Amino acid sequence: MLRRTKIVATLGPATDSPESLAAIIAAGVDVTRLNFSHGSADDHIQRANRVRDAAASQGRFVAIMADLQGPKLRVARFTDNKVALKRGQIFVLDAAMDKEAGTAERVGIDYEELINDVKPGDILVLDDGRIEMEVEEVDERSITSRILIGGPLSNNKGLNKRGGGLSADALTEKDKQDIVTAAKLGADYVAVSFVRTADDMHTARALLKKAGSSAGLVAKIERAELAHDNDALDAVIEASDAVMVARGDLAVEIGDAELVGVQKNIISRARILNKVVITATQMMESMIENPMPTRAEVSDVANAVFDYTDAVMLSAETAVGDYPVEAVEAMVRICTGAERHPSTHTSGHRMHESMELVDEAIALSAMYAANHLDGVQAIICMTETGATPLLMSRIKSSLPIFAFSRHTSTQNRVTLYRGVQTVPFDSQQLPNEEVNAMAVAELLNRGVVEEGALVVMTKGDYANAQGGTNSMKIVRVGSQIR
């Protein structure tokens, strides 16, 4: 059975060698993530080139996602690099002090507008939620708080406000420069951090277009404002090509208790709105230092698969971990194991809704026909942009969807779509009456279908034209196909 859930792996020192990169791609990575919070533009360009070379050598299509840093709010630096904060003590965030002179009593902040975003009684969290403090006093230059949960705090650790409400723009000047780099290296996707509104995504898209890129945009959902407002969430999803459940900062802002429910809601809303969704952060965290995942991590990944996420993501596990290949292999095992469960094969998606678009009606009809007709082994979708296989991938099924396309950009884009495999196929070079037969022959040669099996096919009347999928055909392998 072909794995349907896709795997995103973050690149870093652990996978910089050609051998390590080739190994994780061979193990099953579908999309590589370049974390623009670290490294230079040249570093990212070199990694992207290595990905393309490694994928080509294996006959694979592997997408590249450029992940923008965004307005990561941080404390400044300490004189001794690290301090220990104790429960009950007073700790001051001082916007006016030397950024290199932090002590156990006070430290500078890099986002000075924080003073205008908080008030007494607010809870601030540091270092991904490991430290909590309650604001007691705010003046024109500093925030005085009392530590509720203490612990060690080192240089440049992240800072969030429980419940959200920070006014920092999603796109910093660094991000705008990095968008140009993403376009230069040919990124297939660009992820925008700390998105607040749909306008953030519209701005990012305009900047991408200006830089000469048509990359898909991924909105990282990590603000409390979107977690608690479905209208705002839907607007962001509709302005994007994909969304990421960025559970690290999201959990810090909304609290651990709400995270699972919010994750399920984001996945559901994305599927309803026909957009791709990635589930990310700490999925196999223990495998940074251990060759096997914990049972809790197995359940976490499997439950995301049951919720019908398109992809699951590895972060530090493959960027700096000791066992990057084993982490990918474990995720492959868990995904394929979860996909055997009957609940992932049947769908009621949009059964009781009307549709306005012909290509959407054809895509969903093809999937329902394939799911309910005995003997179907595969779905072939002739596509220019990948729009029709995306619609197909919203439907739960155990059957593989093959996106036949002549465009490398489309082949890379669909690597993120659940259940979709890509096949290079230039129908422009074939007589129209031979296209269907040659497409089925390609799957037969790959061993995907057998003689006598049924294949569902979709395409448009006008070959090689963008949009316009308007026909579905069911053919039998081995018979005369026109």
- Active site residue ranges: 33, 74, 220, 281
Q: How far is CA 328 from the centre of its chain?
A: 16
The one-letter amino acid code at 58 reads Q
Judge residue 139's burial from the number of C-beta atoms within 10 Å of its C-beta, 0-12 exposed, 13-18 middle, 19 or more buried. exposed
Tell me how far apart the alpha carbons of residues 301 and 314 are, in angstroms, rounded to a whole number.
11
Helix (H, G, I), strand (E, B) or coil at 290: coil
What six digits make up the tokens of 467? 């949009």
CA distance readout (Å), 468 to 28, 93, 137, 360, 366: 33, 57, 61, 10, 15
Residues facing 134 on adjacent strands: 123, 146
Tell me how far apart the alpha carbons of residues 482 and 460 are, in angstroms, rounded to a whole number.
15
- The DSSP secondary structure of 155-205, one letter per residue, reads TT-BEEETT------SS-HHHHHHHHHHHHTT-SEEEESS--SHHHHHHHH
82 Cβ contact partners less than 8 Å away, ≥ 6 residues apart: 152, 153, 154, 155
